[in-house]
Amino acid sequence: MMTMKNAIHLHPCRAACAGLALLLLAGCGALPDKPARATLYDFGPGPVAPAAAASPAAAALPTLALAEIESNTRLDGTQILYRLGYADANELRPYGQSRWSLPPAQLLRQRLRDALADRRTVLGPEESATIARAEGKVPDTLRISLDEFSHYFDSASSSVGLVRMRATLIRGTTGGDRVLGQRSFTVRRPAPSADAPGGVKALAAATDAAVAEVVQWVDQQPRQ
């Protein structure tokens, strides 16, 4: 038979167990929600109208090799980056729940290759090496360095997509590589909104404009 003394000693244990149960129930109710999946963006489908027939002049353009695009390590990932130029233009900041589907350099290369291929045959590095071994002739190589790719805020209410790249056209000869030309391109396009979707639209527009300038510049370089 339980004495009053024993009952008094068991009371605190029961209270502690009850408190622990309440804490566990409260903890289950406070578990964080499943993390939201990041929204993925790219540059869009590109031109959807049927491509115009190539002109004889375009058909005569020589084959071109397009190297993999180089970029600084900050652009190797898929984060969509922005700069607050009015506060600290040296700091690159990522949007939290928005990502590119591929690193910017890869998206840019796809866009550039498509634009060049409308006018000439475009090869990748491995295809170019195969032709060089088979025919003993190396096509000119276009190298691109992507130096800036950000949603740039001039002020809290005004922002642009900012793309800066450097293009180098190289000709391989028996005496070594020779630079045919080199040029830097800087393009800004206004953003329709001060957020990740607005930055994406501005950067896609700036990329297309920069690609058009690069294609025009390449077409003007000396031919083999």
Tens of pLDDT along 69-98?
Answer: 999 899 999 999 999 999 999 999 999 999
Quick check: is 45 in a domain?
A: no
Quick check: is 202 in a domain?
A: yes
Quick check: is 80 in a domain?
A: yes
Quick check: is 8 in a domain?
A: no
Give the residue among 116, 85, 115, 88 at the shortest CA–CA distance from 191: 85
Instruction: Calculate mean pLDDT across residues 202-223.
Output: 94
Specify the CATH number for the domain of residue 165.
3.40.50.10610
222 pLDDT band, cuts 50/70/90, is confident
Quick check: is 104 in a domain?
A: yes
Is 107 a residue whose pLDDT tops 80? yes
Quick check: is 120 in a domain?
A: yes
Is 153 a residue whose pLDDT tops 90? yes
Quick check: is 106 in a domain?
A: yes
Domain holding 154, by residue range, is 55-219
Average pLDDT over the chain reads 83
- Count of domains forming the chain: 1
Quick check: is 27 in a domain?
A: no
